Amino acid sequence: MVSQIIFIAITLAAVALFSYNLRKIIRNIRLGKAANRTDQPQKRIMTMVKVAFGQTKMFFRPIPAFLHLIVYAGFVIINLEVLEIMIDGAFGTHRVFGGLGSLYNALIGSFEILAFGVWLACAIFLIRRNVLKLKRFTGVEMTKWPKSDANYILITEILLMSAFLTMNAADAKLQLLGSGHYINAGAFPISQYLQNLLPDTEGSLVAIERGCWWFHIIGIFAFLNYLPYSKHFHIMFAFPNTYFSNLEPKGEFTNMKSVTNEVKAMLDPSFTPEEAEAGRFGAKDVNDLSWVNLMNAYTCTECGRCTSVCPANITGKLLSPRKIMMDTRDRLEEVGKNIDKTGNGFDDGKSLIDTYITREEIWACTSCNACTQACPINIDPLAIITDLRRYAVMEESQSPASISAMLGNIENNGAPWKYSPADRFNWAKES
């Protein structure tokens, strides 16, 4: 009875803390400007099913895709087991689904195989990061915290899977001993090999089984509450992120409505603009970006596929699309904390541009869309870069001298070079 109360209390606390943090993050995302991403719901659902559930974009790199698929399947399917754990914990039952007989055995058996797969995949991921030191996991933005974050996630998953398998091994041994409520249920294709490592006395086995059971479920709750601080948030946000992803051709940049109003008024003095959202042109800080950009930032898993295909980054420039996303999230978290402390409207004198992202980075982008193509969950660093450029050019009139000259040429001659419009048709006359 006591353990049931403790279990329910821990569950409620974990869920409450998580929803508290999740609400804050949603509030932060809502600091962003409006963006219309609710059209074509059918196409959006299909995109989510293909890209997030089906992980189609992952398979561009087959090895990590395969390993990731095991971890993903393990996560989703082993959650069925968590359902049993929740019921057992709340009602003081043991293996409540055990009555399902051979179906239950098949389920537990497959969970074990998956758990072992997850264990192995995470171990390989750790080796890739820490021993092989793949280039994709390095870079200026991959400082101590992002590297530790990745390792914590992998180690936690290995520990959770180890606890699950050890729990089953102890349980199976107790079943053989005919101990108390340890009914004969389950198949143990993996954990059977652990049985010999465990003690033979009933008391220690019960202690191990219970210990692992509690470790497993508390571990899951702890992991849940770690998500809001971690890159691992993608396990949730990948779904809305792909649902709300850009469905237009990648080459198309948004037309800024606020600018359309001004340009129309300039060309036609009788034009009366519709209400447009006030604010600055482009983005100086995170709240000038759209909520989609901000959600993108919380979704980013820092896998670095974007950066590894970025032509600027490949050739040694400072720009890294992954850093753009990480900076956006870090700055948004900072702005969120400012709001927590002092309410809206507090100015800490910092901004996304300059404090986090330098001018050198934004001007190195070729807008080639390699990053958006490479992202397995449709994150768009290019949209943020473009909005930062818009701020620099339209609000500050600051751009590299040659860019300013190019803009001047378009304005004066209708071409980015210094040629006379009168000569535009000369190509047909000369040889």
Partner 1 sequence: MNEQLNFEVPTMAELIAKGEEPEILFWVGCAGSYDERAQKTTRDICKILHHVGIKYAVLGTEESCTGDPAKRAGNEFLFQMQAMTNIEVLNAYNIKKIVTGCPHCFNTIKNEYPGLGGTYEVIHHTQLIQDLINDGKLKAEGGESFKGKKITYHDPCYLGRGNGIYEAPRKALEVLDAQLVEMKRCKSNGLCCGAGGAQMFKEPEKGNKDINIERIEEALETQPQIIAAGCPFCMTMLSDGIKLKDQNENVQVLDIAEITVRANGL
Chain residues binding partner 1 by CB under 8 A are 60, 248-253, 255-256, 259-260, 262-264, 266-267, 281-282, 309, 311-312, 314-319, 360, 363-370, 373, 386, 388-394, 399-400, 402-403, 405-407, 410-411, 414-417, 419, 421-428, 430-431
DSSP-derived 3-state class of residue 320: coil
Task: Compute the distance between CA of residue 287 and CA of residue 290 in angstroms, rounded to an integer.
Answer: 7
Nearer residue to partner 1 within complex by CB, 158 or 383: 383
* DSSP symbol at 431: -
Q: How far is the CB of 188 from partner 1 (least distance, A)?
A: 44
What is the smallest separation between the CB atom of 310 and partner 1, expressed in angstroms?
9
Measured from the CB atom, is 46 or 80 closer to partner 1?
A: 46
Residue of 361, 363, 381 lying closest to 371 (CA atoms): 381
197 vs 266, beta carbon nearer partner 1? 266
Burial 141-157 (b: 16+ CB within 10 A, else e): bbeeebeebbeebbebb
Q: Which is nearer to partner 1, 169 or 362 (CB)?
A: 362
Of 147 and 250, the one with the shorter C-beta distance to partner 1 is 250
The least distance separating partner 1 from the CB of residue 250, rounded to whole angstroms, comes to 5
For residue 289, give both structure tokens.
Answer: 């970006």
Q: In whole angstroms, how close is the CB of 278 to partner 1 at the nearest point?
A: 16
Using the minimum distance from each CB to partner 1, give the nearer residue, 133 or 264: 264
Nearer CB in complex with partner 1: 112/361: 361
- Taking the complex as a whole, the smallest distance from the CB of residue 312 to partner 1 amounts, in Å, to 7
Buried b (16+ CB within 10 A) or exposed e, 369-392: ebbbebbbbbbbbbbbbbbbbbbb
Cα 316 from Cα 314, distance rounded (Å): 6
Q: Smallest distance from the beta carbon of 288 to partner 1, in angstroms?
A: 13
Q: At its nearest, how many Å lie between partner 1 and the CB of residue 99?
A: 51
Give the Cα separation of 290 and 384 in Å (integer).
9
What's the one-letter identity of residue 172? A
User: Closer CB to partner 1, residue 1 or residue 266?
Assistant: 266
Between the two ends of the chain, the Cα-to-Cα distance in Å is 95
Q: Could you tell me the CA-to-CA distances from 159 to 15, 85, 199, 234, 319 in Å, in that order?
A: 21, 17, 20, 20, 36
Q: Which of 88, 86, 107 is nearest to 96 (CA)?
A: 88
Smallest distance from partner 1 to CB 375, Å: 12
What's the CA gap between 252 and 397, in Å, rounded? 24
